[in-house]
Structure 1
């Protein structure tokens, strides 16, 4: 059985599933992982603390930079207070999908 995708293509961009670890030593994306329930997600770490949305903002900035889109094109649409989040990234879906697939292979 093939693991689920870490993103879903929409009309105006893509939705990406992320597992965020705040208060890390570095801001970085660590590739794809699959949880025990079979859901796939990108692993992300940020130095920011999970207070007043700081970790979410750091995640939006990190993902935007990695994909070459402005941070304003990236937003947390689900899981604002959870480690498992859904990000919506606005832009050309095909281009974003290629960028996300490259991020999945990071380790």
Structure 2
């Protein structure tokens, strides 16, 4: 599973792919990570900053509430943020796509 809900917070395993033309979700990577294309190079933390900005916008979470639990310099990262209704909607949409 690519996410884990712990109380009011969620931990999300992300397979980051920097250098994309735009930031976007790109499906599930294996069974254990959410693949995210990042519109920034993996140079001096630029991709991590863009990832935080993208997640903040996608899930309606303040950027200051998104924290890296592990993998800041790795391709597989674990980020933690407050669970939001927008994230719940995202999960439901993913489940519906997987059932098709």
TM-score, structure 2 length as denominator? 0.81
Structure 2: state its 5+ residue gaps. none
1:19 is aligned to 2:15: yes
Aligned residues: 96
Contact kept in structure 2, 1:32 and 1:104, CA below 8 Å: no
CA RMSD of aligned residues (A): 2.1
Q: Which has the higher contact order (CA 8 A, sep 6+)?
A: 1
1:8 is aligned to 2:11: no
CA distance in 1, matches of 2:60, 2:34: 17
Flag the structure with higher helix content. Answer: 2
Cα deviation for residue 69 of structure 1 reads 1.3
User: Which residue of the partner structure matches residue 44 of structure 1?
Assistant: 36
Q: 1:7-86 to 2 correspondence within 5 Å?
A: 7-34=3-30, 39-86=31-78
Structure 1: state its 5+ residue gaps. none
CA distance in 1, matches of 2:9, 2:94: 17
TM-score, structure 1 length as denominator? 0.76
From 76, 83, 91, give the equivalent of 1:101: 91
- 4+ residue runs over 2 A deviation: 102-106
The change in CA–CA distance for 1:100 and 1:14 in structure 2 (over 3 A counts) is farther
